[in-house]
Amino acid sequence: MSATTSDPVVEVVSSDEYYQSPYEVEPVVEPRGPRLPAVSALSPVPTYIGIVVAGAGFALIFYAWSKVAGIADNVALQLPYLVSGGLTGLGLVMVGVTIINVAAKRRDARLRQQQTELLADALHELRTALDDGPR
């Protein structure tokens, strides 16, 4: 039987060329290297450091408050304690909370990256199983 213009033409292509998934998984780009090579993103050490720094800030605020409370009658004598103890303590609390926040975000980002890699592997296995077809 010869092909005429009325006969449909079927073109056979491989499965990779025929099916292009709109959900292609980009390879995960690894960062250049850890900024703090000694501290892993999953390590709790930065969180503990942040807690210690914030605790030192609260201790400094308490110390300044205890000194200022004893000098209730003269405001001029209270100001050095307020500036040196109170504001420095507030700064330490802010730095400690920032360290805790950054450590939590680094940990979450690393866990999310691991979950994304697991999902990409599962999708790759599923696509391979579907491409092989039933046996």
pLDDT in tens, 18-76: 445 555 656 656 556 666 666 777 888 999 999 999 999 999 999 998 888 888 788 88
35 within domain boundaries? no
87 within domain boundaries? yes
Q: Per-residue pLDDT for 17 more than 70?
A: no
55 within domain boundaries? yes
Domain region containing 69: 44-132
- Overall domain count for the chain: 1
Q: What is the pLDDT of residue 24?
A: 60
Q: Which residue has the tokens 């004893």?
A: 70
Q: What is the pLDDT of residue 75?
A: 80
Residue 80 vs residue 27, higher pLDDT: 80
10 within domain boundaries? no
34 within domain boundaries? no
Specify the pTM.
0.63
Q: Per-residue pLDDT for 2 more than 70?
A: no
Tokens of 78: 């209270």
100 within domain boundaries? yes
125 within domain boundaries? yes
What is the residue-averaged pLDDT of the chain?
80
33 within domain boundaries? no
Tokens of 70: 């004893």
Q: How far is CA 28 from CA 101, 120, 124, in A?
A: 25, 10, 14
